[in-house]
Amino acid sequence: MSFRALFLEKTNDTFSASLRELTDDDLNTHAGEGDVVVRVAHSTINYKDGLAIANKSPVVRKWPMVPGIDGAGVVESSSHAGFKAGDRVVLNGWGVGETHWGCLAGKARLKGDWLVPLPANLSTRQAMAIGTAGYTAMLCVMALEAQGVKPADGEVLVTGAAGGVGSVAVALLSSLGYRVAASTGRAAEADYLKGLGAAEIIDRNTLSAPGKPLQKERWAGVVDAVGSHTLANALAQTRYRGVVAACGLAQGMDLPASVAPFILRGVKLIGVDSVMCPMPDRRAAWQRLARDLDLAKLDAMTQGIGLEAALQAAPKILAGQVRGRLVVDVNA
């Protein structure tokens, strides 16, 4: 049976991204090591997908490739003990869309060890409105909680707040009772962010330039999806024994900071990885998302597109022109 997919090819220096009609034989040839075939209903475009589709970074390490690091759908067939036909599942990361064919397609052959049962109260569309971005945001919130950060401790800063990770982080933290300051470079998104629960909007330019190693203490916690000078300034402004969860590099991979916040204020910098995160933490994060995320706020941050439109969306997400989350109906 055939299905549509985004298809990336590269031969020498010639790259192409197109919409293709593929078959089960294509899956068996290029993704044969998977033991679960999923009929994908929805996927999404994350920053990493944008890089792959636009050929802007060496994200893809095996050619040809079907991109899409996220997917949600129904198991069509399975030889994995944990899943059977008809089960609803969600996939995030594990190198899918990088070294293994991904989910911007009508079907995906995946390893059952990568799959999480989709919580009963979430649709496949809602799962992809969350996606890796929202799942990463939840891991960041869980990291702050694990280090003892409570709403009563003070403000929490979210950087890159109008993006996917930031939008979900703002919604989650506000729903959990934290006072959230949202940093963004898009002044027009202030009402959007306040609708998600932000108590204050901060111009990202106040954080993105080089700053002093120690600055006025303000944040009890930080969720940072930006890196570089923004992360360095967030660390310099974090209160005594505060916690910073770092999960992104939209401004850069560098960290032009000093050890001063760590050794003079006891600040903790926690790295948050979503790609290879152990399964118990994944399942816990998805259960927390199903319980703690306001689905009305999720809907407010979500735009739906079809598979073909995903090609045009890639450069927009790289340019920071996409608000919130893009959900791809792979059958539309």
Query: Looking at the predicted structure, is the pLDDT value of residue 72 above 80?
Result: yes
* Residue 318's pLDDT band (cuts 50, 70, 90): confident
Average pLDDT over residues 153-170: 96
Query: Looking at the predicted structure, is the pLDDT value of residue 32 above 80?
Result: no
CA distance 204 to 217: 18
Please report the sign of the dihedral spanned by the C-alpha atoms of residue 215, residue 218, residue 219, residue 225: negative
Average pLDDT over residues 300-320: 91
3-state per-residue secondary structure call for 118-132: CCCCCCHHHHHHHHH
Query: Looking at the predicted structure, is the pLDDT value of residue 308 above 80?
Result: yes
CB contact set of 57 (below 8 Å; sequence gap of 6+) = 51
The DSSP secondary-structure symbol of 250 reads: S
The upper half-sphere exposure of residue 68, i.e. CA atoms within 13 Å in the direction of its Cβ, equals: 34
- Report angle CA 223, 229, 232 to the nearest 5 degrees: 60
For residue 332, the tally of other CB atoms under 10 A from its CB is 12
CA distance 165 to 324: 8
Q: What is the pLDDT of residues 94-116, one digit of tens each?
A: 999 999 999 999 999 999 999 99
- Cα→Cα distances 73→101, 126, 285, Å: 15, 11, 19
* Residue 321's pLDDT band (cuts 50, 70, 90): confident
CB contact set of 314 (below 8 Å; sequence gap of 6+) = 17, 45, 49, 50, 51, 52, 53, 54
Instruction: Look at strands 2-11 and 14-23 and give their pairing.
Output: antiparallel
- Whether residue 78 contacts residue 54, with contact meaning beta carbons closer than 8 Å, is answered with no
Tracing tokens 């890796």 back to the chain, one arrives at 132
Mean residue pLDDT across the chain: 95
- Whether residue 106 contacts residue 66, with contact meaning beta carbons closer than 8 Å, is answered with no
Average pLDDT over residues 179-188: 94
Q: What is the pLDDT of residues 232-265, one digit of tens each?
A: 999 999 999 999 999 999 899 999 999 999 999 9
**Residue 175 is inside which H or E element, if any?**
helix 164-175
CATH among 3.30.70.1520, 3.40.50.620, 3.30.1490.20, 3.90.180.10 for 2-118+301-329: 3.90.180.10
User: What's the pLDDT score for residue 56?
Assistant: 85
pTM over 0.85: yes
CA distance 80 to 315: 37
Query: Looking at the predicted structure, is the pLDDT value of residue 192 above 90?
Result: yes
CATH fold group of domain 130-271:
Rossmann fold (3.40.50)
The domains of the chain are located at: 2-118+301-329, 130-271
CB contact set of 216 (below 8 Å; sequence gap of 6+) = 237
Query: Looking at the predicted structure, is the pLDDT value of residue 36 above 80?
Result: yes
Q: What is the pLDDT of residues 121-150, one digit of tens each?
A: 999 999 999 999 999 999 999 999 999 999
The DSSP secondary-structure symbol of 151 reads: G
User: What's the pLDDT score for residue 187?
Assistant: 87
